[in-house]
Chains A and B, each alone.
Chain A
């Protein structure tokens, strides 16, 4: 470290493309630029020769990729396999062949110059595309181009040997280079070009190698053998860090690696009890960013998509078009997982700047949620239209908040049906069988669950509000905070009633309140028959872990024990002891 301490510490910022932390030694890779030969072919036999050379180079290139593909270490890695399949398709592409043949036949270029020209043209086309992901495929085209050129005999030897703890610093690293590098030695990537959607990023991620890409020119400052920290959690490179900084990052690295290992070990595992009962874990989200996080944590869908965020981040009521674009974006990012969209739930406690509500004595018992929507049909209809129109792009469910009686539900459904009819008349497509459900968060709705269940496709229990209303306790009030207890037997009886009524009427039911992410409540709720839990994305592994270690009969036992207890305190104590 003595050498490092003499050098100045520098920070370089880039895109955190594959999360993690690496501390190691810089190895700077320089690319040899391949230049055209400028040779023009004289006669037909030269042309025939060059075409044959090109065909042979394609053949050798495909063989090379097949060899990498069959390499034992890679067989288990699906991402690598798929990217290599794509490269084989690109190498054998009929359009590429036609274009190169044409350059040789008509423009009398030799095979090397023809390939340089055609690959360059294709890369240009890709660079002009609007979509970031498709644009990033230019790197794949360049990669196969370089491979063909290497097999045409250009000096482009990329065989490298690395010392342990190497961090590769390069202008760009191609996907197949990543696959060729011996990962026992290489622990991090830093590049000038590239970004989150590059195949290099995807591979680095699948191999758990921290990578900060797209750092730009500052990367040139890094010298061979510099000590480097790659903080790919935050997209920062620290060149020649101080000893204190290194110590700090060693701790960060251990924490990060442990957490990742825990998450990864659970991500692909389906949530089911030891006796094979499947439980669905969903998330509560407010934005597309939350949706990405949900998928990262292995969520099976979204149990509550709050739409208030869209209204709160706007200066006036968002138009149908604005809302449509927003919901469509969510649908397109959802990977065909179900998304339950809750229609706007504003009120005295969640006011909008442009929609001033009169001051109320009791906003929680006032003008809010569906009550506003039924009164202001214009606001409601605009949102419903946008949701319905976006429903063709994914699997949406519509959920009404704050329903307190069957009359409100029927009115809301009537407005929904009128909106559907209007779309049909105008030949606008939407999901004709979009499921409709309600939040159960008002005690009257929980008590009438048997009646309500006959008119909806699903329930979602909002335990936070339900608990407040049942116990007449404002959970924000410090003085009476102790009285707010979702494990009070009165609350549990009502929740259980809702779950069994849903069950008897063959509709699905989930919980989207905080109880769903409370580890103390998991077994209890499963014992009541709950099969869907909706929570914040980061809670999923914790709750999944409990489910994986519980049998259904154990869960039933917890619920029957709790039913014999007469107060919330003993129930909480009992549940805590179980943990």
Chain B
């Protein structure tokens, strides 16, 4: 399992556009993805879960990835949270 914590950039956090991008990114990998903040934890394959998770700008979230392609998946997730999210 690869587990990393990211700070969410962009005032509205993971809103509709980035959530759509995130779900689609996750679907490209065989690994399973979990997002955690405090005691909340969700699977990243669901748009509804991501939106209702309510991650807003400035929050820290931890992403756990498990599966045969977890290394590549983790790189893609890192790129998403550090480079892509704040531009969406």
Which positions in A face B, CB cutoff 8 Å?
Answer: 82-83, 85-86, 89-90, 93-96, 122, 125-126, 129-131, 133-134, 137, 140-141, 197, 199, 328-329, 331-333, 335-336, 392-394
A336: chain B residues within 8 A (beta carbon): 9, 86-87
Interchain CA distance A141-B47 in the complex, whole Å: 11
Note all chain B residues with C-beta closer than 8 A to A126: 51-52
Per the bound structure, the CA–CA distance linking A331 and B23 in Å amounts to 26
Residues of A within 8 A of B51 (CB): 126, 134, 137
Most buried by A among B16, B23, B52, B86: B16
Report A321 CB to chain B, min CB distance, Å.
13
Given A134-B12, A134-B13, residue A122 in contact with residue B57 (CB < 8 A): no
Indicate whether A131 sits within 8 Å of B54 (C-beta atoms), given known contacts A335-B86, A393-B9: yes
Residue on A nearest B10 in the bound complex, by CB:
A332
Q: Is the CB of A95 within 8 A of B46?
A: yes
Closest A residue to B52 by CB, please name it.
Answer: A125
**16 A-B residue pairs with CB within 8 Å:** A83-B16, A86-B17, A89-B19, A93-B46, A94-B45, A95-B46, A126-B51, A133-B15, A134-B12, A134-B52, A137-B16, A141-B48, A328-B58, A331-B9, A333-B11, A335-B10
In the complex, how many angstroms separate the beta carbon of A278 from the nearest chain B beta carbon?
20
| Top 9 A-B residue pairs of the complex, sorted by shortest distance between their CB atoms | A95-B46, A332-B57, A133-B12, A332-B11, A89-B47, A129-B54, A336-B86, A86-B16, A131-B56
- Given A86-B19, A89-B20, A335-B87: A122 and B11 within 8 A (CB)? no
> Which residues of chain A come closer than 8 Å to B47, judged between CB atoms?
86, 89-90, 93
* Chain A residues positioned under 8 Å from B86 (CB to CB): 335-336
User: Which parts of B32-88 form the interface with A (CB within 8 Å)?
Assistant: 43, 45-49, 51-52, 54, 56-58, 86-87
Seen from chain B, the residues whose Cβ lies within 8 Å of a Cβ on chain A are 7, 9-13, 15-17, 19-20, 23-24, 43, 45-49, 51-52, 54, 56-58, 86-87
Residues of the B chain whose Cβ atoms lie less than 8 Å from the Cβ of A393: 7, 9, 57-58
Known: A140-B16, A393-B9, A393-B57. 17 other contacts (CB 8 A): A86-B19, A86-B47, A89-B19, A89-B23, A90-B48, A93-B46, A95-B46, A95-B49, A122-B52, A129-B54, A131-B54, A137-B51, A332-B10, A333-B11, A335-B87, A336-B9, A394-B9
Which of A89, A90, A332 has the most CB atoms of chain B within a 10 A radius of its CB?
A89
Bound together, the chains give a CA A222 to CA B47 distance in angstroms of 38
- Structural contact, B23 and A131, CB atoms closer than 8 A: no
Min CB–CB distance A333 → chain B (angstroms): 5
Least Cβ distance of B36 to chain A in Å? 17
In the assembly, what is the distance between CA of A134 and CA of B62, in Å?
20
Please report the C-alpha to C-alpha distance between residue A26 and residue B11 in the assembled complex, in whole angstroms: 36
List residues of chain B with CB within 8 A of the CB of A93: 46-48
B15 in contact with A134 (CB, 8 Å): yes
A197 to B56, CA, bound (A): 15
Bound-state CA distance A89–B10 (Å) is 22
Q: Which residues of B contact A329 (CB under 8 A)?
A: 11
Q: Which residues of A contact B43 (CB under 8 A)?
A: 95
Contact partner of A134 (CB less than 8 A), chosen from B9, B10, B23, B56, is B56
A335–B23 CA distance with the chains assembled, in angstroms = 22
Bound form: Cα–Cα A112–B15 in Å? 28
Min Cβ gap B4→A in Å is 15
State the Cβ distance, A394 to closest chain B Cβ, in Å. 7
Closest Cβ–Cβ distance, residue B9 to chain A (whole Å) = 6
Asked whether, in the complex, the Cβ of A122 is within 8 Å of the Cβ of B48, the reply is yes
A94: contacting residue among B16, B46, B87, CB under 8 A: B46
What distance in Å separates the Cβ of A566 from its nearest Cβ neighbour in chain B?
50
Least Cβ–Cβ distance between B66 and chain A, in angstroms: 17
Query: Measured between C-beta atoms, what is the minimum distance from A323 to chain B in Å?
Result: 15
Closest to A330 in B: B11
Chain B residue contacts of A331, Cβ below 8 A: 9
Q: A155 CA to B45 CA in the complex, in Å?
A: 32
Which A residues touch B17, using CB under 8 A?
82, 86
Shortest distance in angstroms between B52's beta carbon and chain A's nearest beta carbon? 5
B5 to chain A, nearest CB (A): 11
